């Protein structure tokens, strides 16, 4: 007598697949905003590095010429604009590309030679040095 043995089918049930999709959805909902903050922080960090590099040139110009230079130039992801007001002025880095497009970073110098830093991103993005 021959008996047929049934093999148990291996696979996932619909419920198991739905649970996996739900877990992936929850993880994505948490990860995507954090990634966007990370990318914006990187862009502002790049703008800060580019703008900070100009501070030495500005201080040199103030020491030799007596005034804050007024120039505009491009950097990797945007433009740098120096606006003068005697020995005071601002360096504005405007970001034109990527996730932080439209954001600005402003370094302001008082007539006393004190530099301040502000940026236009949300409070969730904190930049060391600004």
- Which superfamily is assigned to 14-119 in CATH? Glycoprotein, Type 4 Pilin (3.30.700.10)
Mind giving me the DSSP string for the chain? Answer: ---PPPPPPP---HHHHHHHHHHHHHHHHHHHHHHHHHHHHHHHHHHHHHHHHHHHHHHHHHHHHSS----EEEETTEEEEEEEETTEEEEEEEE-SSTTTT-EEEEEE-TTS-EEEEE-S-TT---TT-
Instruction: Render pLDDT for 38-82 as a digit per residue (tens, 0 to 9).
Output: 888 888 888 888 888 888 888 888 888 877 777 788 777 788 888
Where in the chain are the domains?
14-119
Instruction: Render pLDDT for 98-110 as a digit per residue (tens, 0 to 9).
Output: 878 888 889 998 8
């Amino acid at each position: 007598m021959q008996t047929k043995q049934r093999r148990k089918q291996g696979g996932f049930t619909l419920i198991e697949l739905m649970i996996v999709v739900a877990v992936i959805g929850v993880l994505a909902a948490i990860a995507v905003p954090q990634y966007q903050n990370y990318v914006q922080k990187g862009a502002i960090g790049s703008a800060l590095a580019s703008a900070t590099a100009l501070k030495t040139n500005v201080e040199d110009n103030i020491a030799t010429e007596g005034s804050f230079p007024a120039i505009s130039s491009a950097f990797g992801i945007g433009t740098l604009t120096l606006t003068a007001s005697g020995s005071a002025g601002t360096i504005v880095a405007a970001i034109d590309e990527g996730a932080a497009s439209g954001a600005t970073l402003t370094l302001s110098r008082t007539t006393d030679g004190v530099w301040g830093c502000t940026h236009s991103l949300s409070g969730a993005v904190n930049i060391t040095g600004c």
